[in-house]
């Protein structure tokens, strides 16, 4: 199964050129950092595509770390696959390793259920504390 987005798949290929446009979308954006030589990435790809097809209201992106080395470097991607989840431009989850389908579905359910006003308030509070301690 090809790793890159082709017509008919539920994922978007993310590059340096379209990264900002994709991650700044409102709603939930998932990013799969992968490479063609990575065995666990190849095993995770069908699961990611399947869950993407079940959740057409979400944005599922894929970043080929070989083709987008500068982008991967700017996010300090050290092992792949790495999954990131953003909601309303806030990074909520970042973890290396392939997830089983049920775990990915559960993670999406948790992100959907978050009160983003509360999350933003907690982030602001943390930033205030960090600024006071600087």
Q: What is the pLDDT of residues 86-117, one digit of tens each?
A: 999 899 999 999 999 999 999 999 999 999 99
pLDDT at residue 30 in the model: 96
Residue 70, Cβ density class (10 Å: 0-12 exposed, 13-18 middle, ≥19 buried): exposed
**Residue 16's domain is classified under what CATH number?**
3.40.30.10
Report yes or no on 4 lying in a domain. Answer: no
Report yes or no on 2 lying in a domain. Answer: no
Look up the pTM and report it.
0.86
Report yes or no on 1 lying in a domain. Answer: no
Residue 77 has pLDDT above 70, yes or no: yes
Number of domains in the chain: 1
Report the alpha-carbon distance of residue 108 to residue 105 in Å, rounded. 5
Catalytic residue among 12, 30, 38, 86: 38
Report the alpha-carbon distance of residue 24 to residue 9 in Å, rounded. 21
Residue 5 has pLDDT above 50, yes or no: no
Report the alpha-carbon distance of residue 124 to residue 108 in Å, rounded. 24
Q: Assess whether 41 carries a catalytic annotation.
A: yes
pLDDT in tens, 20-72: 999 888 899 999 999 999 999 999 999 999 999 999 999 999 999 999 999 99
Report yes or no on 66 lying in a domain. Answer: yes
Report yes or no on 69 lying in a domain. Answer: yes
Catalytic residue among 30, 41, 52, 63: 41
pLDDT at residue 100 in the model: 95
State the residue range of the domain holding 81.
11-133
């Amino acid at each position: 199964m090809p790793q890159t987005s082709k017509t008919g798949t539920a994922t978007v290929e993310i590059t340096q050129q379209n990264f900002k446009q994709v991650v700044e979308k409102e709603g939930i954006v998932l990013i799969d950092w992968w490479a063609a030589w990575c065995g666990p990435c190849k095993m995770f790809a069908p699961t990611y595509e399947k869950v993407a097809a079940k959740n057409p209201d979400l944005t599922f992106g894929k970043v080929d770390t070989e083709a987008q080395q500068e982008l991967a470097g700017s996010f300090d991607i050290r092992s792949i696959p790495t999954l990131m989840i953003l909601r309303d431009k806030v990074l909520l989850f970042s973890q290396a390793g392939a997830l089983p389908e049920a775990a990915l579905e559960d993670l999406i359910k948790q992100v959907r259920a978050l009160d983003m006003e509360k999350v933003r308030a907690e982030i602001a509070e943390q930033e205030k504390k960090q600024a006071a301690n600087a």
